[in-house]
Chain A
Amino acid sequence: MLAVDLPYWAQSLLRVLGGTVAVLLPAGTIVYLFLFKMMSFMQSRLGPMEAGPYGSMQLFAEVGKWLQKEDLAPDGADKRIYRMAPLVVLVSTFLLVAVVPFGPDAYFTNFDAGVFYMLAVSSISTLGILMAGWSSANKYSLLGGLRAAGQLIAYELPMVLAVLGVVIQAGTMNLQQIVVKQNSDSIFGWDGLGNPYILTQFIGFAIFMIAVQAELTQTPFDMPIAESELVSGYMTEYSGFRFLIFFIAEFATAGVFSLIASVLFLGGWGVPFSWFGWDAATGSVDNWMNVAGPIIMITKMMVLSGIIMWVRFSYPRFREDQLQRFAWKVLIPVSLLNIMLTAILKVAF
């Protein structure tokens, strides 16, 4: 359906470039806009102002600094594992972005088990974090790694269950289909807004966002990092570009999860199809949506990751046992209830 037919190699190249941009651009924007600026404003200061206008080049300065630093590994570390760990974390991010649809034709892959794939791939980062914590030969890192493993696995579950509600309602596990469904459905016959699942699946959305917060190890769920207790936990021993990779992965994953949340709950790249008279069944979406879609997605992602960061800057952190209790005793039962409710309503209507 693309306007021009590209040879396979060009498509591959485009995909790789697009994937890199889709990971790095949100990461950079989130770091600059939220970590540097919003956080500073919330703390009555201006943040970086020297590098570039309003400090906009600060990130490049930081990356340059990190690249110059020596790549250290502790003496007792399991060096091969230690060096691999950050890459594993970053790989998970890249794999995640592969299923995110940015427009009617602007996607990297489009397959039917998209939701399933996304949930499976997102837990690869747990492995990387555990590897980093274990191989660092540092007690703080070990504690951080173990905390991370426990936490990420605990919060995987409410995330899966929250997404399940969406899957039931949409009747598909294809992310592209979910987007189309949200934009072409109607709320009680009124299709002016489509049917973004944030309205019908609000509980699911809330649980998903809480789980995302935990998966990203952002405050109030940042015990694996916990700089005031564990001195950055599993990242303690890393320096130079390996630390940079962790850093990128943290914020890139925040961006990708925001993208996924906007796909699942906010209608993704689409605008309500009724506005332009598109037909979901035949897929007669105008081609310009391939350009507008990514912009819409990025906007939605910014809002969501802004909220993630806002919460991060405002809250203190939980204790490990409180966090586990919260996951198992509150989030999972609530999300199970949500699934039941969705299923009943789905059958009823």
Chain B
Amino acid sequence: MTDLADRQKLSYIAAQAADARLNVELETEGMTLNIGPQHPATHGTLRIIVRLDGEQVVWAEPSAGYMHRGYEKLTEVRTFPQVTALVNRIDWLGSFANEVPFILAAEKLMEIEAPPRAQWIRTILFELSRIANVGLFLGDLGVQLGAVTPVFMAFRDREHVLNLIEGATGGRFHPNFDRIGGLKDDLPAGWIAETKQVMKKLRNFCTEMEDLLFGNEIFQSRLRGIGVIPAEVAKQYGLSGANLRASGVDWDLRRDQSLPLAYDKVDWKVWTHPDGDSFARCWIRLQETRESTLIVDQLLDTMPSGPIMAKVPRIIKVPEGEAWVSTENPLGEMGYYVVSKGDLGPFRVKIRSASFNNISIVPWVLRGVYVPDVISILASLYFILGDIDR
């Protein structure tokens, strides 16, 4: 596999060099192209200014901020329960996962821990939101590369997951289900059996994606050897999640830190890929989706019984202090640096969102690629606008 990728990479680089030589000889004029803010590839309103030489990118600069909602300021005028409702709008595709680190940070400051059953359900919902999020990524990836069908399959199977999330939490997109000290409610009857069914469908979906997209020779030739990010650069820019693991860095916050979640109770595996190219990033996400379904299955089997809420005061005042909690969200490392002054609401919340870092590497990685690769690299880096702009 690597030799194939190498060969393609080499021919690609050679072609680029030849083009560049030709352009110097011909003294061609460049062209500035605005990709976005309204552009199908930016799924949202990200603008990328690229300077083109023919179809080759000489220089690229993303311009974010078309959707800045000022969450860090908004958190300062809200109480802790209200902030939970707010933050699940950051990465709107994996919204439950946004709540968890914030709640964990508040719990850390209050020095309470959710009961085991709540931890289990949190972890399950966390993984479900990962599946919903990354499942859509897999479909969207197809659209970015010109295949229209995968996205509908992704929507079809993501619907099952959203139904599950809605069945348990009441909210399809914005669950607001996590509470300091536990969860709002227990699962409704029949949910576990249904989830198992859905997980089977999702594994089938992963296989379909493998057949329809990942095994497709055109797909591979579009992604292999494109947008290579070496591990050192990835770390410097703070890339996280599948983007980091695709560069060969074995780092997963679900495994590599001790949080009151149930990840250490199940048998699962962190996928890494040595190539660091676009294909590796997409491939890791596919594998992780499948791994997530397996995690959910195991957790459902071992779910403990008991309460879902620890003892917390009715009016929540978080003691003075600072806490940093980050979790491995669908997009990567999502963390909250919560500063409390012993008030009803936080004093300052720094939201470290994954996409912000992931996209900040774009000027570095887009130099010298072709316009179609701009799209495929952006798609493989996978960002959610709300997660960049917050």
Question: Which of B31, B40, B146, B374 has a CB less than 8 Å from the CB of A317?
Answer: B146
B34, closest chain A residue (CB): A139
One of B143, B149, B370 near A319 (C-beta < 8 A): B370
Look across to chain A and name the residue whose beta carbon is closest to the beta carbon of B15. Answer: A321
Q: Is B24 an interface residue (CB 8 A)?
A: no
Give the interface segment out of A40-48, A157-165, A195-203.
A40-48
Partner of B41, one of A39, A45, A220, A228: A228
Q: Check A229–B41 contact: CB distance below 8 A.
A: yes
Contact for A316 among B33, B142, B152, B374, CB less than 8 A: B142
Residues of B within 8 A of A73 (CB): none
Partner of B221, one of A222, A313, A322: A322
Chain A proximity mask over B182-223: 1 for CB below 8 Å, otherwise 0: 000000000000000000000000000000110010110110
Question: In whole angstroms, what is the CA distance A125 to B39 when docked?
Answer: 27
Q: Report the minimal beta-carbon distance from B17 to chain A, rounded to whole angstroms.
A: 13
Minimum distance in angstroms from B54 CB to a CB of chain A:
9
Whole-angstrom CA separation of A330 from B212 in the bound complex: 24
Given contacts A139-B31, A231-B40, contact A222 B15 (CB under 8 A): no
Q: In the complex, what residues of A have CB within 8 A of residue B143's CB? A: 228
Query: Which chain A residues (2-53) contact chain B, with CB distance < 8 Å?
Result: 39, 42-45
Within the assembled complex, what's the spacing in Å between the Cα atoms of A319 and B144? 12
Encode contact with B along A306-330: 1 for CB under 8 Å, 0 otherwise. 0000000111111111100000000
Considering only CB atoms, which chain B residue lies closest to A313 in the complex?
B149
Main secondary structure of the interface of A (DSSP, over half): loop
Nearest Cβ on chain A to B299's Cβ, whole angstroms: 29
Residues of chain A from 33 to 89 with CB closer than 8 A to chain B in the complex: 39, 42-45
Q: Does A96 contact B (CB under 8 A)?
A: no
A229: B residues at CB distance < 8 A: 41, 371-372, 374-375
**Per-position binary interface string of chain A over residues 120-143, scored 1 when its CB falls under 8 Å from any chain B CB and 0 otherwise:** 000000000000000000011001
CB contacts (< 8 Å) of A43 on chain B: these are: 148-149, 152-153, 156
Nearest CB to that of A319 among chain B residues? B372
CB of B278 to closest CB in A, whole Å: 12
- Contact between A314 and B212 (Cβ–Cβ < 8 Å)? yes
A223-B372, A228-B375, A322-B221 known; A317-B152 Cβ under 8 A: no
Interfacial chain B residues near A140, Cβ < 8 Å: 33
How far apart sit A70 and B144, CA to CA, in the bound complex (Å)? 30
Q: Are A321 and B145 in contact (CB under 8 A)?
A: no
Asked if B152 and A219 make an inter-chain contact with CB atoms under 8 angstroms apart, the answer reads: no
**B337 CB, min distance to chain A CBs, angstroms:** 36
Could you tell me if B371 and A143 are in contact, using CB atoms closer than 8 angstroms?
Answer: yes
Distance of A316 Cα from B321 Cα, bound (Å): 52
A39, A44, A223: the one within 8 Å of B153 (CB): A44
> From residue B290, how far is it (CB to closest CB) to chain A in Å?
20
In this assembly, does A227 line the interface, its C-beta being within 8 Å of a C-beta of chain B? yes
Interface string of B32-61 (1 = CB under 8 A from A): 010000011100000000000001000000
For the complex formed, measure the closest distance between the CB of B22 and the CB atoms of chain A, giving whole angstroms.
13
A210 contacts B by Cβ under 8 Å:
no
The answer to whether the Cβ of B147 comes within 8 Å of any Cβ in the partner chain is: yes
Asked if B387 is at the interface (CB within 8 A of a chain A CB), the reply is no
Decide yes or no whether A226 CB sits under 8 A from chain B: yes
For the A-B complex with A44-B153, A314-B212, A316-B216 known, give 14 more contacts whose Cβ atoms are closer than 8 Å. A43-B148, A143-B33, A143-B55, A219-B147, A223-B372, A231-B40, A313-B149, A317-B222, A318-B221, A318-B222, A319-B370, A319-B372, A320-B55, A322-B222
Contacts A/B (CB < 8 Å), 22 sampled: A39-B149, A43-B149, A43-B153, A43-B156, A139-B31, A140-B33, A143-B371, A219-B146, A219-B148, A227-B40, A228-B146, A230-B371, A313-B148, A316-B142, A316-B222, A317-B145, A318-B218, A318-B222, A320-B370, A320-B372, A321-B15, A322-B222
In order of increasing CB-CB distance, the 9 nearest A-B pairs are: A317-B146, A43-B152, A316-B145, A316-B147, A319-B372, A229-B375, A44-B156, A316-B146, A228-B40
